[in-house]
A and B are shown apart, each in its own frame.
Chain A
Amino acid sequence: MTRSCLLCLSLALIASGSLLGQSGARTGQQAKVKRDKQSQKPHSPRAEGRLELTVREASKSGVPIPLASIVLQPLALAQVSDGRGEVRLSGIPDGSYTLEVSSMGYVTERRTVSISAGPPVSLNVELKPSTLALGEVTVTATPNVSSPSTSSTIGRQAMDHLQAMSLADVMQLIPGQLMQSTDLTSRSNLQLRSLVNNSTSAFGSSIVVDGVPISQNAQLTQGNFSSTAFVGTDLRNISTDDLESVEVVRGIPSAEYGDLTSGLVIAKSKVGLSPLSLRAKIGPAVRNYSASKGLAVGKSRGDVVNFSLDYVQAWGDPRRKTRSFDRYIASVGYAFRPSNQWYTTTRLRYGLGRDWTGTDPDVVADGSFNKSMNHSLGLTHSGQISLGEGRRRHSLNYTLGLTYGMQKTDISTFVAVPQGSLAIINALETGYHDTQIQTSSYRATGITESRPLSLFVKASDRFRLRTARLRHQLSYGVEYRLDHNNARGYYNADDRYPLRPNSNGRPRPFRDIPPLHQLSLFAEDQMRLPLGKGHALRLHLGARLSAQQPWADNATLALSPRINAGYELGRYLELRAGIGWSSKAPGLAYLYPDRRYSDRIAVNYRPTSNPLGHKVVYHTYVYDDVRNPNLSNATSRKIEFGLDVKLPNRGRLSLIAYHDQTPSGFEILPEYTVYDANYYSQTQGLIMSPAGETTVDWTNPERTDKVFLSSGKLGNTAEAVNRGVEMDFDFGEIKSLRTTVYLSGAYSETETRSMARQASDPRGLPVAYTQTGTIPFKVFYPGGLAYSTYRQVVNTLRLVTRIPELRMVASLSGQVVWYQWRKDTTPGRNPIAYLDTNLQEHPITEAMLQDPSYTISGVRLSDQVIDTRENVPVKQPITWMLSARLTKELGNVAILSLYANNMLYHEPFLSSSASSTLTQRNAGSFSFGAELSIKL
Chain B
Amino acid sequence: MSAFRMLQYRPLMWALALLMALASCLKEPDSPSQGISLSVRLGKPSEFSSSSVDLSGIIVSLTSSTGAYYEQETDAEGVATFPSIIPEIYALSAVSEISGADYTRLTGIQVGNNDYRLSATLSDQVLSGGQTLSLPLVAQAKSSLLISKVYYAGSKDTNNRNYTAGQYVEIFNNSDEEIDLTGLYLGIVESYSSSAFFAERVEQSAFLKQVYRIPAKRLAPGATVLLVNSAIDHRDKSEHEQDLSQADFEAKDTSPRNPRPNNADIPALELVYTFSDALSYMNLVGGGPTSLVIFRTDLDLGSLPRYRNTGTTTGNGLCLALPVETVIDGVDLLKLRAGTSESSDAKKLATFIDAGYKTINSTTGYTGEVVVRRVERRESGRVYLMDTNNSTNDLEVRTGVSVRVY
Is the beta-carbon distance between A440 and B157 smaller than 8 angstroms?
Answer: yes
Beta-carbon contacts under 8 Å, B94-134 to A: none
Query: Given A366-B160, A420-B163, A608-B263, do A771 and B280 touch, yes or no (CB 8 Å)?
Result: yes
A295 interface contact, C-beta 8 A: no
Which of A88-96, A104-112, A506-514, A756-764 has 4 or more CB atoms under 8 Å from chain B?
A: A756-764
Is the beta-carbon distance between B318 and A866 smaller than 8 angstroms?
Answer: no
Min CB distance A837 to B, Å, is 15
B17 interface contact, C-beta 8 A: no
Q: In the bound complex, how far is the Cα of B229 from the Cα of A818, in angstroms? A: 52
Which of B66-74, B85-93, B249-257, B397-405 has 4 or more CB atoms under 8 Å from chain A?
A: B249-257
B368 interface contact, C-beta 8 A: no
Q: Mark A744-767, 1 if CB is under 8 A from B, else 0.
A: 000000000000001011011101
Is the beta-carbon distance between B308 and A767 smaller than 8 angstroms?
Answer: no
Min CB distance B323 to A, Å, is 19
Q: Mark A397-425, 1 if CB is under 8 A from B, else 0.
A: 00000000000000000111111111100
Report which of B245, B254, B260 forms a contact with A419, defined as CB distance below 8 A.
B260
Query: Given A420-B237, A604-B259, A917-B340, do A773 and B278 touch, yes or no (CB 8 Å)?
Result: yes
Is the beta-carbon distance between B254 and A773 smaller than 8 angstroms?
Answer: yes
Which of B1-9, B268-276, B291-299 has 4 or more CB atoms under 8 Å from chain A?
A: B268-276
Is the beta-carbon distance between B314 and A416 smaller than 8 angstroms?
Answer: no
Report chain B residues within 8 Å CB of A601. Answer: 255-259
B162 interface contact, C-beta 8 A: yes
Q: In the bound complex, how far is the Cα of B256 from the Cα of A764, in angstroms? A: 19
Nearest-CB residue, chain B, relative to A619: B256
B65 interface contact, C-beta 8 A: no
A-B contact count (CB 8 A): 143
Q: In the bound complex, how far is the Cα of B340 from the Cα of A795, in angstroms? A: 32
Q: In the bound complex, how far is the Cα of B277 from the Cα of A358, in angstroms? A: 36
Most buried by B among A607, A682, A771, A918: A771
Report chain A residues within 8 Å CB of B259. Answer: 419, 421, 601, 604
Min CB distance A148 to B, Å, is 43
Nearest-CB residue, chain B, relative to A909: B339
Nearest-CB residue, chain B, relative to A786: B313
B279 interface contact, C-beta 8 A: yes
Query: Given A441-B159, A773-B277, do A763 and B318 touch, yes or no (CB 8 Å)?
Result: yes
Q: In the bound complex, how far is the Cα of B245 from the Cα of A870, in angstroms? A: 48
B150 interface contact, C-beta 8 A: no
Q: In the bound complex, how far is the Cα of B232 from the Cα of A677, in angstroms? A: 28
Report chain B residues within 8 Å CB of A772. Answer: 254, 256, 278
Q: In the bound complex, how far is the Cα of B164 from the Cα of A418, in angstroms? A: 5
A738 interface contact, C-beta 8 A: no
Report which of A364, A414, A422, A682 forms a contact with B264, defined as CB distance below 8 A.
A682
Most buried by A among B160, B260, B273: B160
Report which of A441, A502, A767, A866 forms a contact with B271, defined as CB distance below 8 A.
A767
Q: In the bound complex, how far is the Cα of B157 from the Cα of A760, in angstroms? A: 36
Q: Mark A489-532, 1 if CB is under 8 A from B, else 0.
A: 00000000000001000000000000000000000000000000
Is the beta-carbon distance between A760 and B314 smaller than 8 angstroms?
Answer: yes
Query: Given A364-B160, A416-B162, A760-B314, do A423 and B258 touch, yes or no (CB 8 Å)?
Result: yes
Beta-carbon contacts under 8 Å, B67-83 to A: none
Q: In the bound complex, how far is the Cα of B257 from the Cα of A677, in angstroms? A: 13
Q: In the bound complex, how far is the Cα of B161 from the Cα of A62, in angstroms? A: 71
Q: In the bound complex, how far is the Cα of B340 from the Cα of A775, in angstroms? A: 40
Is the beta-carbon distance between A421 and B260 smaller than 8 angstroms?
Answer: yes
Is the beta-carbon distance between A417 and B163 smaller than 8 angstroms?
Answer: yes
Nearest-CB residue, chain B, relative to A437: B261
Is the beta-carbon distance between A869 and B165 smaller than 8 angstroms?
Answer: no
Beta-carbon contacts under 8 Å, B136-186 to A: 154, 157-166
A600 interface contact, C-beta 8 A: yes
Q: In the bound complex, how far is the Cα of B302 from the Cα of A863, in angstroms? A: 13
Is the beta-carbon distance between B277 and A770 smaller than 8 angstroms?
Answer: yes
Q: In the bound complex, how far is the Cα of B342 from the Cα of A918, in angstroms? A: 12
Q: In the bound complex, how far is the Cα of B165 from the Cα of A773, in angstroms? A: 19
Is the beta-carbon distance between A773 and B310 smaller than 8 angstroms?
Answer: no
Min CB distance B119 to A, Å, is 42
A916 interface contact, C-beta 8 A: yes
Q: Mark A858-878, 1 if CB is under 8 A from B, else 0.
A: 000001001101110000000
B11 interface contact, C-beta 8 A: no
Nearest-CB residue, chain B, relative to A419: B260
Is the beta-carbon distance between A608 and B237 smaller than 8 angstroms?
Answer: no
Q: In the bound complex, how far is the Cα of B122 from the Cα of A630, in angstroms? A: 90
Nearest-CB residue, chain A, relative to B155: A418
Is the beta-carbon distance between B308 and A770 smaller than 8 angstroms?
Answer: no
Is the beta-carbon distance between A420 and B230 smaller than 8 angstroms?
Answer: yes
A719 interface contact, C-beta 8 A: no
Q: In the bound complex, how far is the Cα of B237 from the Cα of A760, in angstroms? A: 37
Is the beta-carbon distance between B164 and A419 smaller than 8 angstroms?
Answer: yes
Query: Given A767-B273, A773-B256, do A366 and B159 touch, yes or no (CB 8 Å)?
Result: yes
Query: Given A763-B316, A764-B306, A767-B274, do A418 and B154 touch, yes or no (CB 8 Å)?
Result: yes
Report chain B residues within 8 Å CB of A422. Answer: 258
Report which of A420, A707, A863 forms a contact with B306, defined as CB distance below 8 A.
A863
Beta-carbon contacts under 8 Å, A701-760 to B: 705, 707, 758, 760
A549 interface contact, C-beta 8 A: no
Most buried by A among B258, B311, B318: B258
Report chain A residues within 8 Å CB of B52. Answer: none
Q: In the bound complex, how far is the Cα of B159 from the Cα of A442, in angstroms? A: 8
B315 interface contact, C-beta 8 A: yes
Min CB distance B270 to A, Å, is 10
Q: Mark A690-704, 1 if CB is under 8 A from B, else 0.
A: 000000000000000
Report which of A419, A764, A863, A869 forms a contact with B311, defined as CB distance below 8 A.
A869
Query: Given A420-B165, A767-B272, do A871 and B159 touch, yes or no (CB 8 Å)?
Result: no
Report chain B residues within 8 Å CB of A256. Answer: none
Is the beta-carbon distance between A420 and B234 smaller than 8 angstroms?
Answer: yes
Min CB distance A574 to B, Å, is 48
Q: In the bound complex, how far is the Cα of B271 from the Cα of A478, in angstroms? A: 67
Min CB distance A336 to B, Å, is 59
Report chain B residues within 8 Å CB of A866. Answer: 314
Query: Given A420-B165, A826-B313, do A607 and B264 touch, yes or no (CB 8 Å)?
Result: yes
Nearest-CB residue, chain B, relative to A501: B258
Query: Given A416-B161, A418-B154, do A771 and B306 touch, yes or no (CB 8 Å)?
Result: no
Nearest-CB residue, chain A, relative to B312: A869
A439 interface contact, C-beta 8 A: yes
Report chain A residues within 8 Å CB of B157. Answer: 416-417, 440-441
Q: In the bound complex, how far is the Cα of B272 from the Cα of A225, in angstroms? A: 37
Report which of B154, B263, B311 forms a contact with A871, defined as CB distance below 8 A.
B311
A307 interface contact, C-beta 8 A: no
B341 interface contact, C-beta 8 A: yes
Q: In the bound complex, how far is the Cα of B121 from the Cα of A372, in angstroms? A: 81
Min CB distance B258 to A, Å, is 5
Beta-carbon contacts under 8 Å, B174-209 to A: none
Report chain A residues within 8 Å CB of B57. Answer: none
Report chain B residues within 8 Å CB of A761. Answer: 277, 315
Q: In the bound complex, how far is the Cα of B259 from the Cα of A423, in angstroms? A: 9
Is the beta-carbon distance between A775 and B256 smaller than 8 angstroms?
Answer: no
Is the beta-carbon distance between B165 and A763 smaller than 8 angstroms?
Answer: no
Q: In the bound complex, how far is the Cα of B237 from the Cα of A437, in angstroms? A: 15
Most buried by A among B163, B264, B277, B313: B277
Report chain A residues within 8 Å CB of B275. Answer: 770
Q: In the bound complex, how far is the Cα of B237 from the Cα of A421, in angstroms? A: 12
Would you mind naming 27 contact pairs between A and B with Cβ atoms under 8 Å apart?
A: A366-B160, A414-B159, A416-B161, A417-B163, A418-B162, A420-B166, A420-B232, A420-B237, A420-B260, A600-B257, A601-B256, A605-B264, A606-B262, A607-B265, A608-B264, A677-B256, A763-B308, A764-B306, A767-B273, A770-B274, A771-B280, A772-B254, A773-B277, A773-B278, A869-B310, A869-B312, A871-B311
Q: Which 9 A/B pairs are nearest by Cβ-Cβ distance?
A: A773-B278, A420-B165, A416-B161, A441-B161, A600-B256, A773-B256, A414-B159, A418-B164, A418-B162
Q: A761-B277, A826-B313 are in contact. List 8 more A-B contacts (CB 8 A).
A: A366-B160, A418-B154, A420-B230, A420-B234, A599-B257, A606-B262, A772-B256, A773-B277
